C-alpha cells in the first residue's frame, strides 16, 4: 500500500511539468503580441504628424497598455515557473526579483497590473467620451472600481498573511 501511495505522489509531483506547456504557450503568445505592438508603433510613427493632441495621447496610451500587458505575461511566466515547476539555475544578468515572488505577492502584482491596465483603458475612454453613453461610462467606471477594490483586498490579505508569519500555501492562483 505504501508503494502505491509513493507512486501516486510521484505522478502528482511530476504533473507540474505539464505547466511548462502553458508557460511556453504564453511565451509564444507574447511573441505574437510583440508583432502586434510593432504594427501599432509603426502606424503611430507614420501618423504622428497628422494626429491631434488627443489622438496622440490615445495612441501612446495604447502603447503603454500593450507594454503593461506584456510585462504581466512575463511576470506570470517567470513567477509561475519558479513557484510551481522548478527553480531557475543561476544565470548571468539574472532579473533581480526572480525567485522572490511568492504566490501571494504574485497575486498582488497581477492585480496591480490589471488595475493599471484598466486605468489606462478608462483614461482612453474618457478622452474619447463622446463615443460612449453615460450608462457605458458608468459601467466602465464601476468595473474599474471593482478591480481597484479587488487589488486592495488582495494586498491586505497578503499583508495579513505575512504579518502572521504565514506563507500562502499551495498553488492557489
Query: Can you read off the three cell numbers belonging to residue 91?
Result: 544565470
* Cell 509564444 found at: 28
Residues 2 and 72: their CA atoms lie apart, in Å, by 42
Regions of the chain with pLDDT less than 50: 173
Contact by Cβ (8 Å): 37, 66: yes
Over the stretch 99-110, which tens digit does the pLDDT of each residue have? 566 667 777 788
In this prediction, residue 128 carries a pLDDT of: 82
In this prediction, residue 173 carries a pLDDT of: 47
Burial category of 120 from C-beta neighbours within 10 Å (exposed 0-12, middle 13-18, buried 19 and up):
buried
Residues 138 and 126: their CA atoms lie apart, in Å, by 11
Over the stretch 117-152, which tens digit does the pLDDT of each residue have? 888 889 888 888 888 999 999 999 999 999 999 989
Measured between its terminal Cα atoms, the distance across the chain in Å is 33
Residues 16 and 18: their CA atoms lie apart, in Å, by 5
Query: Can you read off the three cell numbers belonging to residue 30?
Result: 507574447
In this prediction, residue 54 carries a pLDDT of: 81
The answer for 102, left when phi > 0, alpha when psi is -120 to 50, beta otherwise, is: beta
Contact by Cβ (8 Å): 101, 74: no
Amino acid at each position: 500500500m505504501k508503494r502505491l501511495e509513493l507512486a501516486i505522489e510521484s505522478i502528482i509531483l511530476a504533473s507540474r511539468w505539464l505547466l511548462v506547456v502553458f508557460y511556453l504557450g504564453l511565451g509564444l503568445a507574447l511573441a505574437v503580441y510583440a508583432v502586434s505592438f510593432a504594427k501599432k508603433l509603426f502606424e503611430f510613427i507614420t501618423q504622428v504628424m497628422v494626429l491631434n493632441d488627443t489622438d496622440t495621447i490615445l495612441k501612446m496610451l495604447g502603447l503603454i497598455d500593450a507594454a503593461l500587458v506584456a510585462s504581466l505575461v512575463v511576470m506570470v511566466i517567470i513567477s509561475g515557473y519558479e513557484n510551481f515547476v522548478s527553480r531557475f539555475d543561476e544565470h548571468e544578468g539574472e532579473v533581480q526579483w526572480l525567485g522572490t515572488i511568492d504566490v501571494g505577492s504574485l497575486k498582488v502584482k497581477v492585480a496591480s497590473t490589471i488595475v493599471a491596465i484598466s486605468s489606462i483603458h478608462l483614461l482612453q475612454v474618457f478622452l474619447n467620451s463622446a463615443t460612449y453613453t453615460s450608462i457605458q461610462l458608468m459601467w466602465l467606471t464601476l468595473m474599474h472600481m471593482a478591480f481597484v477594490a479587488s487589488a486592495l483586498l488582495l494586498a491586505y490579505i497578503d499583508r495579513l498573511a505575512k504579518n502572521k508569519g504565514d506563507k500562502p500555501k499551495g498553488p492557489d492562483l
